[in-house]
Amino acid sequence: MATRLTGRKFIVRYTVWCLDVLGHGPDECSSAYNCPCVGTDDDGEEIHDPDEFNHGECDVGFEVNDRNRCGEIEVEVDEEEYNAGTPQAFTGHSPDDDDIVQSLINAGLLKPNVTSKDVEIDGDSDEHLAVDDASDGRPLFQLEYESSVLIP
């Protein structure tokens, strides 16, 4: 079905929550964390080898321990009409990952060299979004939808 821009723009506002995260990614496994996927080789050097030491599994992960409000962002979004030209046509506006990342950069919450390929953004844009590090899944931010206002 056809999708087209309507020409209307919206400002979508989110509260940004910074996170206190517990846990670690696979690249950080060590005996200091008592990781079962870490052992020693013939030379006594520590190695990360889930296949040899933990039945092929690496039991790492992250858990959000706490969060604190660390700002707000505004994202400018184009409205789109979906199923254009049909009786089932409807409109909507959702920010794309590039615009969310740029808003986080503008707010000083991400470094200027971060791109949407460096993060994973998941959730419903009109409720909650999770922003995670794409390399290891570490939670970075939670975005809580606040409002959507038509730009006159």
**Residue-level pLDDT, tens digit, the chain, 152 residues:** 689 999 999 999 999 999 999 877 766 766 666 677 777 778 878 776 767 766 666 667 788 999 999 999 999 999 999 999 899 999 999 999 999 999 999 999 999 999 999 999 999 999 999 999 998 889 999 999 999 999 99
Q: DSSP characters for 89-133?
A: -EEE----HHHHHHHHHHTTSS-TT--TTSEEEEE-TTSEEEEEE
Distance from C-alpha of 78 to C-alpha of 51, rounded to nearest angstrom: 48
Burial of 74: CB neighbours in 10 Å, binned 0-12, 13-18, 19+: middle
Query: Maximum CA pair distance of the chain?
Result: 71
| Confidence at residue 36, expressed as pLDDT on a 0 to 100 scale | 74
So what's the pLDDT on residue 59? Answer: 67
